[in-house]
Each structure stands twice: as C-alpha cells, then as structure tokens.
Structure 1
Amino acid sequence: MPPLEQALSSPNFPFYAHLRDIVCQYLPKDCVETIDRTFFVADFAHKEQKRASGEPYIIHPIAVATVIAQMHLDVESVQAALLHDVVEDTEITSSMLEQEFGSTVNEIVEGVTKLDKLRFHDYKEAQMENFRKMILAMTKDIRVILIKLADRTHNMRTLGALRPDKRVRIAKETLEVFVPIANRLGISDVRAELEELCMASIYPMRYRVLKAAVTRARNNRKEVVSGILEAITGRLKEAGIEGRVTGREKRLYSIYRKMVQKELQFREIMDVYGFRIILKDVDSCYRVLGQMHNLFKPRPNGFKDYIAIPKLNGYQSLHTSLVGPHGVPIEIQIRTELMDHMAARGVAAHWSYKENGSKAVSTASQKNAQDWIKNLIDLQQSAGSSLEFVEDVKTDLFPDSIFVFTPDGTIYNLPKGATPVDFAYALHTDIGHHCIGARVNHHVFPLSRSLQSGQSIEIITSKNSCPNAIWLSTVVTSKARSCIRQYLKGLRSQECVLIGRRLLQNTLRSVRIESLTQDQIQSILDNFNEKDMNALFSDIAMGNILTVAVAKFLDPDSHHHHELPVKGTGGLPFTFAQCCMPIPGDNIIAHIAQGRGIVIHNENCKNFREEDRVPGKVLNVSWNMAVTANMDFKTTLLIELNNRQGILSEISNAVDIAGSKIESINSDLKDEKTFLINLIVTVKDNLHLTSVIKRIKAVPNVISVYRRR
C-alpha cells in the first residue's frame, strides 16, 4: 500500500492533514512520502494510548512535528518529531527504528528519549548532572534540542489539564532552562511563545489584567499607527525602495519584564510605537535608515547597528529610536528578508530548504551555534565536576554582551564583565597562555579589570609567561576558564606545587604569618582533607582551594577585624549578598566566590547551596557590633495593600518616623484591588527593622508586611 494510502486509512488522518500541508510547501515529494510512512508507524504504535485530556496520544507527536515543520527543518527532524515518544512509550525498539528509518532518525529519537527522562524542579537542580546530560545531548546533534523545544512548546500549550501547582512547576522550569536555550540559539518565535505561556501559568491574574490593558491600548491607537505607517510607506515610494512595513506588536512578557526591571508604568511602555521594515538587501537597509532619520527626528543615543555587529545568537537588524508626529516615540527595526527569517528561526534556519530543494547556506546564527557547541565540548573535557561545567555553561546561556575591537578594527563579542585575559583567549589560546599585560585605548590596563563596550584592546605577550591560577577568579568566559584549567592540569606536578606554594606564601604574608608550625600544617591538612602539603599546593594552583580560606583558618582573629563590620574575614574586602541582604542580628556566613571575592550571606539564604558549604569555600564570620552601631544596612520589605489615594505617602512617613530611609520602591499588581510594594529601606539591625515593620503595619489598608530574604 502506498504511504499516502496508509496514512489516509488512519482515523487520525485529519489531525495529520495540517502537518502534511506544511511539509508539502517546502519538502520534495519523496520526502513527503517518507513522512507519510512515518506517521503511519507512529500512529500504529500509539493507537491504544490517550492523553490526560482523553484525546488520542498521536495528537502530541503530530503537534511537535508541526512546530518542527513550521521552522522548515529537514525530513529527518520531522520524522524524529513524529517518533520521539515511541521508544519510551511503546513496544517499538531503537533497532526497529534504525532498520525502518535509518541511523540518523534513530540517533535523534534516542537523544530526545534521554532528555525526556530528565526532570528539573528548578534551575538549581538543573545545574547538576541532568543539566550536563541535556547540554551534551545537544552537542551531538542540535536537532535533538530543537525537537525538545518543540515538545516543550506543545506541552506548555496544553498545561490546562494539569493541577495548578504542577502547571507552575513546569512553567518555571521552562522559563529557567528552556527559554534561555531557545534564546541562545536565536529561535525567537519559540522563545517568545514559551515566555507568554509561562507568564500565563505562573502569574495568571497579572497576565489577564495586562492582556486586557494591551488590547485596549492597541484599539485606542489604531489611527496613530496607520498614520505613521502611511508616512513610512510613502517615504519608501518617494525614494524608489521596495520593502514591506508592519507594525511591531510588543509581547506581553516583554512588557511585563520591562515594567518590573525598569520600574516603568504600563502607559510609558505602550506609548512607544514599534515598526519593522523588511527589505531586499543590506545596502537598502542603510539607505532606509537615512530616509527615516530625514522623515522623523532621531533620538540621542537611540541607534544600534546589529547588522555590522550581530548579537551573540546571530541576530541582525538596525534599531533606531525616533520622535514621531506630535512627539510620540517611535522604534523602527530595519532588516533584510533573510535577517527576518533568521531572527524568527535562528539556528533552525540552517536546515531550511530553498525552492529548488537544496539546503540553505550556512548563516551567522548557524556559525555562532556551531562555535558555542564546540566550546561546550571543550568545557566538558576540561571541567572537573558537573557543577564546574554548569557554572561555565550558565555564563554562555545568560550573556549580557559587550563588543570590543582589536587594534586593526576587528570586532569581538564578549560577555559583560569580561577582562583582557578573556579577550586574549578569544583571539587565540596561545595568546591567552602567553599574555602578560594589555593596553586599552593605548593606555596600560590591569588584566583583572572589566572591559567596556567600544574599547580597543592590544594584548602584550611573552614566550616565557604562562597562565596564572589567580586568573580563574577574574575571567568570565567559559573558553578562558576551560583553557586555563587545561593548562594547569597539564603542568608537571612539581610546577603546580611551586605555584601553589608561592600563592599561599603571598597570602599568609599579607596577614603577617611568615612560617607554619607542624601542628598548624596538620590542622590545615585535616580541615581541607589533603594527604600532604604538596597536594594542598596543587589544589591551590588548580583553583580548587582559595588561599584566603587557608589564611582565615589559621588566623580567625586578624588584627584588621576591629575596623570592619564583620569579624572573621582576615581583614580582606567583602560585599553583602544582594539576594538575602543580611543585617546585624542575622546569623551570617561568608562564601568565597570565584570572581567576586568574599560575599556575606544570611546563613539560611536559599541561594547558598549545600555544595558551597565545604572547607575552602566558606568562612565562619560574625558581626562586629561596635562598628555596625554607626552604620546603616539595606533590606527589602514586601508590603501587600489595598490601594487608595495617599497610602504611599503615609508609608513613607511611617518609615521616616521609625528612623529609616527609603532607598527604592516599586509596585506590582497582584489582582484588581491588591498591590505588592517592594521597598528597600535602611536599618541599623533586627530590632530597628522590627520597629519599621510595626510602623508600616499601622498604616490603614496595609494587609501584610514581611522581610524578603
């Protein structure tokens, strides 16, 4: 029986028909026949199964394959999407799949099946071995993660059949794990849909209120939008430039995130009118930019050229902010058809088919993804543990990038906080290994200082220099950390011991310890679980133990302590954690964080993990009350209230009467009547905080006040 007739014989063919229409638009006839046969096998395998909603189970694989087809992925991807659950949930085996559909489809299905077994409760759990497995599955064939993203998209669309608590758990997992991956791969269509679905599940009331407000705002401004559209279209015709112009709709999650992060009111965001101009070539983009700046007045510092300097995920476009008719703010994105296609599909566009059936050429997004995956493989080989590996990947998943230049004008993208050492390794591993200094904008620049966008960097090298273990505490790129670790691991044992010995001696001298007694040596070895001092020195050289922890263990009551509000840091500089904002009276602990030095946390802080509570990473510290008595400390209060006129003024007055100051304030809508106020105030200690809370609680219409930890 021909494949199409097999497919038509299924009672579930109507569900499959839409997918088939999509693949017919871009795949050759023989590929469509292969997909028909694949559907028939998947349908037969799942024929006895039902979803939680009572619908035939085959609806889910079809929906996943539809998302894949909408990305215009290749035939193997669509096949694997249809079959992604058969090995785990049915009697069909991997060997049967390979025999019927080939090794490529079977390997992709196997990769997705392994990912399906991973369950994350939140990003912290995902940080460990499961997250490592997921990232490594992606490095073998990136289509594995594309199908997993499509699978998660359909699951998020159908969360309604689950309990509310399960909906929230899955949505948070999606927002914290899968959305960053979609963003890093440049697949904005999938990322945007997942963000919207996550917000609807985690904050259903806020989502409904915001959606209604956006609908009203869009209806109220139709005339303004159409007027600006006509002006832009008319200017393009006058200039003889072909292109299409559309109004750019702001996504709900994007609006919500801007309101929270930038503390903006809804009307401030919706007063900005967004438009997108799609053109044939890059030359037209820059010509149209000039036309738009003639048509409307450009805003200072409102232009970004992501065509010349693409984002890390390959995104390209010109962005400009203008002042439109009657002073309304306008944001315009100008790009080519290919750039628009890439912005929506990112790395997935690599498998797109041209009209003649051949694969599309490699793109900036594909090259970025390939470089990233090559980097992940290098990290896997050099990482000493799952935690170490994931910490490195996290830097790449959440990049806040800067761009810098070589002296000859070549542009490099680096994560925010990158140092000249990061830049040296970005140029070449050998340059990083032999780096001894840097000049930034022709001036000598410290290797440990963070770079800024637009700087020109020249790296100074010496054949006799080698990587320094201290660099591990300042570099931020995963490539730099990976290369430094690999070099240190390759050092001869004797060299490692010498480096570690020198680092420890320098730190001990800073706290006036010139030599160690035999009893002190034995105490150090016992505390840090080392068999001898050479093993300790090696671990110090590798960056596994920080010398400050050894110094603090030997000298818990340094002569510097009386000057600082916290005792037990060995006189070394420290910062207070912004996640828990400890204040005098709290039980505190110090964490030695690579790249940030000593950070003081509340002992019960949720961000302070069990794996961090090991010798070499923590210091036992306490408050120096004689010093803190004359200091102010910041802490965050969450206030729930029924809004009324003048209530913020009364809260501010209550804080003032209690002898405190407001550092910052922002609000969020909990439901139609209730607001949540996030208030950062200054206090002396826990007792003073209790007084401030008591005063605020006395304000009418305040429902609750509690400290955010």
Structure 2
Amino acid sequence: MPEKSYFTPEERENVLSAYRQLLRHSVPVMSLSDFNRMRKLITEAVTTGHYQRNKQGINPVVRNLNTALILCDRVGVERSMLIAVSIFNLVVSEFLTIEAVQKEFGDDIAHVIRGLIKSNSLYAKQAAVESENFRKLLLSFAEDIRVIIIMIADRLCVMKMINHHPNEKYRYDVACEASYLYAPLAHRLGLYSIKSELEDLSLKYTNREIYDQIAHKLNETKRSRDKYITEFIEPVKRKLEAEGLNFEIKGRTKSIFSIWNKMKKQKADLEDIYDLFAIRVILETPLDQEKADCWKVYSIVTDMYQPNPKRMKDWLSIPKSNGYESLHITVLGPGQRWVEVQIRTRRMDEIAERGLAAHWKYKGIKSESGLDDWMNNVREVLEAAEHGGALELMRDFKMDLYDKEVFVFTPKGDLYKLPLGATLLDFAFLIHTGLGCKCVGGRVNGKIETIKYKLKSGDTIEVLTSPNQTPKQDWLNIAATSKGRVKIKQALNEQQNKDAEYGKELLQRRFKNRKMEMEDGIMMKLIKKMGYKTVTDFYNELAAEHIDVNRVIDLYLEIERKENNEPYEVRTAEDFTLQPSEHDETKEDELIIGGDVKGIDYKLAKCCNPIFGDDIFGFVSTEGTIKIHRKDCPNAKHIYSRYRYRVVNARWSGKMGSKYICVLRVVGNDDIGIVTNITSIISKEKNIYMRGISIDSNDGLFQGHITVMVDDTSALNGLIKKLKTVKGVKDVQRSSVN
C-alpha cells in the first residue's frame, strides 16, 4: 500500500475500501496476478513521486479507483476498462510508457489508454472544455466507445469528490460541463442512472437553494409516498402471482433534476406534481417469452387501473437505438393520481440501468447496429465540420442526442431511422449527399410533398430530383439533423469559396492597375468597417457586383493614411485584455471584473437584469465590450457550453450607488382592489420606485409584470416577501421580461 503521508486519513480509508471492493468485482474478468501487478505499479509510482495531485488538489489514486468502482456498479465489469482507468495516470506522469503497458497488460489496454490520454489532454489548461475543443474531444470519444464510457464514469466520480471543494468557480464550471456534455452523452448510451446523478449533482452545485428545497420536501413526504406505492402495488402483486408470473415489483422516486424540470414546465410547486415516482415490474422470463409476458402484465395493470393512451410508450416493438427496451404506461391509481408503470424483463432492466455496456453480457442476443450507426454518424459529422463550425456543433449534436425517433421506408421496403422532426430533405441527405443536393421534393405514400415535409413513422418515401437543383441558404432552416446541415453547409461553402476567389482576383487586378500593393491588415479593417462579418461575405458581394470596386479602393486609401498614426490591432474575444476605461475618478466602482480590475466599461444583460448582490459573471462580446449576466440567467448554460473561453469573473465591489431595473411577475386572483394594494405597497417602500406595470386578466386570474428600480437583492427580496402577503396574490417571482 502507498505511503501514509501521501493520503489524508479519510483518503487512506477510502482507498483500502476501494481496493477490496475492486478486487471482489474484478474476479470474473481479471486474474489475481493482473490485480497485484496493477497495485504494485501504483504503489511504486506514489512512493517515487509520480502520482501527484492535480492543480485542484484531487488525489488521482482515489479518483481512478472510485471511477473503476462506478464502472463496475453502474456499467459492467470489463478487464481493459478497469485496468486502463486504474493505471493511465502512470503513463501521463511518465512512470510507465505505452510500450511497457502493451507488454505488461496487452494491446487492447494500451489502445484504451491512448484514447484516455488524448481526451484528458484537453483539460490540461482549463477545468472545462472550450467550444473549440469540443470537436476534438468527441473525435477522441468516437475512436472507441469505451473511452466515452470511462470519461462519463470519471466525470461522475469528480462530481462526487468536489462537494466540499473550496473553489466555488471550479465546482460551477465542472457542474455546467456535466450538464451540457456528459449527461446528454450518458443519456444517449442508455446510462440512465449515471445521467440522473450527473444532472442532480449539477443542479446541486449551480442552484443549491432549489436542490435543497426539493430534497427536503422529498424527505418530508417519503412516508406518505411509500404508503401510496404499497397501496398501489399490493393488488397488482396478487394478480400477477395468480397468473403464475415470476417477477419483482418496486417503486422509485424520480430524480431531483427531473422533478425540478416538471416544476418549471408546469409552473407548479412540488405539492402539485403528482407523478413523482414510477412503479417498475421486472419479469424473470425466458427470451422467447419476453414480449408476450410483458404484454400480459400490461393487460393485468390496465384492467385494474384506467390507462392514459396518450402517455403510452412502446419500446418493446421497436427499441431505442441505444438498446433500451421497455413498456411504459400511465394509469389512474388510488386517489385519482396518475402513476407511471414500467414493464420489462430482467435482461431489459439490466440494459436500461447499465446502457449499451450491458450488451457485453448478452452478446449476440441484441443487435448493436443502432449504436454503430450513431457512432459512425458522429465521426462523419465531426470530420466534415468546417473551421468555425464547432460553435454550432454542440447544439446540433445535443439535439440529435435527445430527439426521439421516426421510422420510414424506401419504396423497396428498406427501413431508416431519423430524429423526430426530420424532414424529407434530411431523408434525402441520409440516403446520399448527391441525392440531397439535387432533391426538389418527394412522393410520400404516393402523394407529392415538398422538401419541408416532416416525416412520420410508417411513411414510404421516394425522393424526387432535378439536375438543375442546387442547395440554398434557407435549406439550413429546413434540415433538422446535424448530418443534413453539415452537408448543406459544405455545398454552400464550396460555391461561396469559388465566388469569393473570383471577387478577390477582381479586386487584386484593380489594385495592380493602380500600381498599389494590397495589405491584408488594412483590408481586414476595411471589411469590418463596411459591416461584413467574414472575408468570404465581402468578396462574394464584390463578385456579385453589389459593391463598387472604386469605392472600396477609396476607402482603402483613407484607412491607409490613418494607419500612419494608428497602428492596427486585431482584437478578438479570445485575446481580449481587460483595461480600465477612462471614467470619472469620483464615481465609485460597483463592479470588479477579471480579478481586481476596476473601471471597466460594461453593460447589464437584458435577458436576466442582474442587480447588486446577484451572483454574476462577465461575457466578452466579439466587439470587446462586456455584458454582465446572473449565474442563474436562462442563457448561462448556453454561454458556458458554447463560449466558455469568453467568460470572465465578475463580482460586486461592496459599494452601492446605482438603481437597478428589475421586473416582477405577479400572479393572483382578479379581485377588486388587488392591483391598488400591490402598487400601494411599492409606493411606500423607501428607495424603490415603480417604472411600469402591465396586467392581463383571464378567467378570474390575473398575471402582471411590474418594473421597479431597486438598490440591491436585499431590497428586492424584502419587496417580494411583502407582495406575497397581499390577499389574492398567489405568486411573485423575478422575471426576465423587459
């Protein structure tokens, strides 16, 4: 065992326990000599100083062993993955070479370690993946499915380890990344228990108040929930036993994150959310009787309780592409409460809990072609993405991960699967890029339809083409799949690049005629001054004769003259340096941005209206200005996922002086005098001023937006508390409406 001084007492106890558990788990796939060699190498690396903590203070031995245990518990026991995750840090720290691993443990483990090292190298300089690195990360994942599984398990391990980490920003960054990258990937691979825990921990670190509130209420209502589940299950249990079925039936509470999503969607409190739990029936039945027995259970349950046909989900007939098989029904249980019932076999349950990896156990029983198709699609989309496409890639990729599916046929009867919302144009590009580029419409179930037609399961589609057809810019709004969008962009870029080359040659000839040299720096400034976002756009307009060449040359000469006194500097958000602006020295600074820099010009974002006292961050625009957002802004997750490299720290300095705009959303009964009472309270508040009010009334209820000027969050919270006491007022919340 490694030296005591390397571990804290808590870590040492954790490592000893993890070693014992890992030894028990790994017996079916790993020899004792494998395990002892691995343990010996780790011990030697620690004693020789090759196993250092990372810059956040996380112990790699603890992290790797616990990641291996998560793989065992949540995914499955696979020799290469367990050994690779346990020793890959030894290669990173140069204690071992890849060749030594290859010789000691075999080629396959060396291959997995290479993938892990490549993926982890993207974290060398920052805690979170920047959007430009996102493509590289997914390319690494796409090389071997086991790499992505290990990275997901490792991310869950890190999320568990940082609960009491002193660096709040690090916790927030890691939580955001888990939510926008790792949870969707876990979802797509069917690792639902990991996905749920990642989302719960992410909510815990980004919105602790909401997390604690829901967790506390769930604990308070546990006894009544357990009683209701028992009341629901008992009669079902008796019926199933009478039919001679071998089964397990249990109830489970839904995750805190999914409950929070329901509260937001339904705009309701926890007490008003009825489907907080699901009942699961797991059958022990032979493979050839699985579907028949599942439908038998369905018949028994729906005979006892009234089903809701709109909420029935049949993944028995056509499983999800990640291998998920189950029958979901929602029935009206005792006390007129809707209850979700999931019916599946033990094999299906293991695949549902452990995702694709469970197929290792049932190899040959279930086809994995769906996942292979998905991984091939990931590779194709990533490798085809042009420079600059990474910023849109995450949105497209995540969309394909979460979308449900439709199944359509060719006239020959071949079956194809696309995301829900896919169009006829997407189908054409799925079949072949050339077919998509020439597509003018199609014949759907014998009827002529346009390229905008949204596919429905069961459709038979014949693509119609024309040799004169070429991709159009508005096709990007029609295509719903990432593959279709990438192929359209490629075709458009090829044509634009040809036009741009012609436009550039045209301008260069005019410069040559005037015996002038064209400098790229001045041209960049000219293009920006004329309002074009890209060089290609500018030269395309020039080629199309939408710009007068003589005007361009005149503007070039004007900028060139100014250059003698103003050296040109290209400033982007990535290399933006915070500099104090020229401001009134007598004015007190209320914001400190990027560490201890004061006097920075900034704007408060209108999407969330931050006020003094809110948790905030700064976002550098491409023009170099800074917008201040609340950390719980509706756009915060989007900003962190796509533009992490343009986020800067920001905090209030402790000095106040300004008034801040804030919008309150008030909901209540449409009683006489209620609006007067609300405005009366606001008018009596010291240092709070009302700037506007809008009220909508419908069916005895009113909803209003009140704009007020306040000093800080303390004053705002006090006002909200008082408004909630007005008779007839049901709810008062901050709103982003302006």
TM over 0.5, yes or no? yes
Whether 2:485 is the aligned partner of 1:481: answer: yes
What is the aligned counterpart of 1:310 among 304, 319, 323?
319
Partner of 1:334, secondary structure, is: strand
Q: Which amino acid aligns with 2:24?
A: D
Name the counterpart of 1:708.
736
Partner of 2:221, secondary structure, is: helix
Distance 2:733 2:231 in 1: 48
What is the aligned counterpart of 1:291 among 292, 295, 300?
300
Name the counterpart of 1:661.
694
Partner of 2:328, secondary structure, is: strand
Residue 430 of structure 1 deviates from its aligned partner by 4.8
Deviations 1:224-279 (A, max 9, x none): 32232221122212333332211132122211221123223212324555211122
Residue 321 of structure 1 deviates from its aligned partner by 0.8
Q: Which amino acid aligns with 1:67?
A: I
Distance 1:110 1:146 in 2: 15
What is the aligned counterpart of 2:329 among 320, 324, 332?
320
> What does 1:453-492 correspond to in 2, within 5 Å?
454=457, 456=459, 458-462=461-465, 464=467, 466-470=469-473, 471-487=475-491
Name the counterpart of 2:406.
403
What is the aligned counterpart of 1:84 among 73, 82, 88?
88
Residue 77 of structure 1 deviates from its aligned partner by 0.7
Name the counterpart of 1:35.
35
> What does 1:99-138 correspond to in 2, within 5 Å?
99-119=103-123, 126=129, 128-138=131-141
Q: Which amino acid aligns with 1:395?
A: D
CA RMSD in angstroms, aligned pairs only = 4.9
Residue 81 of structure 1 deviates from its aligned partner by 0.8
Partner of 1:308, secondary structure, is: coil
> What does 1:515-526 correspond to in 2, within 5 Å?
none
Distance 2:535 2:429 in 1: 34
Deviations 1:381-400 (A, max 9, x none): 32111x41452353232333
Whether 2:161 is the aligned partner of 1:158: answer: yes
Distance 2:326 2:34 in 1: 38
Q: Give the conservation status (yes or no) of the 8 Å contact 1:433–1:465.
A: no
72-81 vs 439-448, which deviates more? 439-448
Partner of 2:344, secondary structure, is: strand
Compared with structure 1, are the counterparts of its residues 419 and 108 closer, same or farther at alpha carbon in structure 2 (3 Å cutoff)?
same
What is the aligned counterpart of 1:637 among 641, 663, 671?
663
Question: Percent same amino acid among aligned pairs?
Answer: 23
TM value normalised by structure 1: 0.68
Distance 2:113 2:606 in 1: 43
Q: Give the conservation status (yes or no) of the 8 Å contact 1:121–1:173.
A: no
Gaps of 5+ in 2: 1-11, 503-525, 547-551, 553-604, 610-624, 630-634, 644-660, 683-689, 725-731
Distance 1:532 1:232 in 2: 67
Partner of 2:205, secondary structure, is: helix
Name the counterpart of 1:371.
373
Distance 1:189 1:609 in 2: 27
Whether 2:182 is the aligned partner of 1:178: answer: yes
Residue 46 of structure 1 deviates from its aligned partner by 2.7
Distance 2:431 2:459 in 1: 13
Partner of 1:41, secondary structure, is: helix
Q: Give the conservation status (yes or no) of the 8 Å contact 2:85–2:150.
A: yes
Compared with structure 1, are the counterparts of its residues 486 and 132 closer, same or farther at alpha carbon in structure 2 (3 Å cutoff)?
same
Deviations 1:443-492 (A, max 9, x none): 5443235x265573634313625541332343121111233345556779
Q: Give the conservation status (yes or no) of the 8 Å contact 1:697–1:705.
A: no
TM value normalised by structure 2: 0.65
Q: Give the conservation status (yes or no) of the 8 Å contact 1:420–1:457.
A: no
Distance 2:113 2:181 in 1: 21
Compared with structure 1, are the counterparts of its residues 334 and 32 closer, same or farther at alpha carbon in structure 2 (3 Å cutoff)?
farther
Residue 134 of structure 1 deviates from its aligned partner by 0.8
136-145 vs 653-662, which deviates more? 653-662
Q: Which amino acid aligns with 1:477?
A: T
Distance 1:31 1:340 in 2: 29
Q: Give the conservation status (yes or no) of the 8 Å contact 2:315–2:324.
A: yes
Name the counterpart of 2:45.
45
Q: Give the conservation status (yes or no) of the 8 Å contact 1:319–1:332.
A: yes
Whether 2:19 is the aligned partner of 1:16: answer: yes
Distance 2:366 2:293 in 1: 20
Distance 1:539 1:175 in 2: 45
Distance 1:530 1:270 in 2: 52
Name the counterpart of 1:629.
none
What is the aligned counterpart of 2:270 among 266, 275, 283?
266
Q: Give the conservation status (yes or no) of the 8 Å contact 1:654–1:695.
A: no
Partner of 1:461, secondary structure, is: strand
Q: Which amino acid aligns with 2:349?
A: D
Aligned length: 569
Q: Give the conservation status (yes or no) of the 8 Å contact 1:406–1:457.
A: yes
Q: Which amino acid aligns with 1:204?
A: R
Deviations 1:331-353 (A, max 9, x none): 10112222212211222224x34
Q: Give the conservation status (yes or no) of the 8 Å contact 1:74–1:353.
A: no
Name the counterpart of 1:75.
79
Compared with structure 1, are the counterparts of its residues 87 and 681 closer, same or farther at alpha carbon in structure 2 (3 Å cutoff)?
farther
Distance 2:272 2:438 in 1: 51
Compared with structure 1, are the counterparts of its residues 120 and 102 closer, same or farther at alpha carbon in structure 2 (3 Å cutoff)?
closer
Q: Give the conservation status (yes or no) of the 8 Å contact 2:184–2:398.
A: yes
Partner of 2:386, secondary structure, is: coil
Distance 1:463 1:371 in 2: 29
Distance 1:308 1:375 in 2: 24
Compared with structure 1, are the counterparts of its residues 603 and 640 closer, same or farther at alpha carbon in structure 2 (3 Å cutoff)?
farther
What is the aligned counterpart of 1:348 among 344, 357, 372?
357
Q: Which amino acid aligns with 2:40?
A: F
Distance 2:97 2:697 in 1: 59
Distance 1:538 1:315 in 2: 54
Residue 83 of structure 1 deviates from its aligned partner by 0.9
Compared with structure 1, are the counterparts of its residues 463 and 206 closer, same or farther at alpha carbon in structure 2 (3 Å cutoff)?
closer
Compared with structure 1, are the counterparts of its residues 381 and 272 closer, same or farther at alpha carbon in structure 2 (3 Å cutoff)?
closer
Q: Give the conservation status (yes or no) of the 8 Å contact 2:190–2:356.
A: yes
Name the counterpart of 2:64.
61
Gaps of 5+ in 1: 1-9, 355-359, 499-521, 541-546, 548-552, 554-578, 584-601, 614-634, 666-678
Compared with structure 1, are the counterparts of its residues 178 and 89 closer, same or farther at alpha carbon in structure 2 (3 Å cutoff)?
same
Compared with structure 1, are the counterparts of its residues 174 and 221 closer, same or farther at alpha carbon in structure 2 (3 Å cutoff)?
closer
Deviations 1:559-590 (A, max 9, x none): xxxxxxxxxxxxxxxxxxxx95699xxxxxxx
Distance 1:530 1:152 in 2: 38
Q: Which amino acid aligns with 2:46?
A: H
Partner of 1:248, secondary structure, is: strand
Deviations 1:629-652 (A, max 9, x none): xxxxxx9835799x9xx9x96699
Whether 2:145 is the aligned partner of 1:142: answer: yes
Q: Which amino acid aligns with 2:350?
A: H
Q: Give the conservation status (yes or no) of the 8 Å contact 1:285–1:318.
A: yes
What is the aligned counterpart of 1:236 among 227, 240, 257?
240
Residue 320 of structure 1 deviates from its aligned partner by 0.6
Deviations 1:169-221 (A, max 9, x none): 22222212211111122211211121222222223333233222112222123
Q: Give the conservation status (yes or no) of the 8 Å contact 2:497–2:536.
A: no
Q: Give the conservation status (yes or no) of the 8 Å contact 1:418–1:477.
A: yes
Distance 1:689 1:289 in 2: 55
Compared with structure 1, are the counterparts of its residues 701 and 533 closer, same or farther at alpha carbon in structure 2 (3 Å cutoff)?
closer
Compared with structure 1, are the counterparts of its residues 130 and 496 closer, same or farther at alpha carbon in structure 2 (3 Å cutoff)?
closer
Distance 1:580 1:539 in 2: 39
Q: Which amino acid aligns with 1:708?
A: S
Distance 2:662 2:309 in 1: 35
Residue 108 of structure 1 deviates from its aligned partner by 1.9
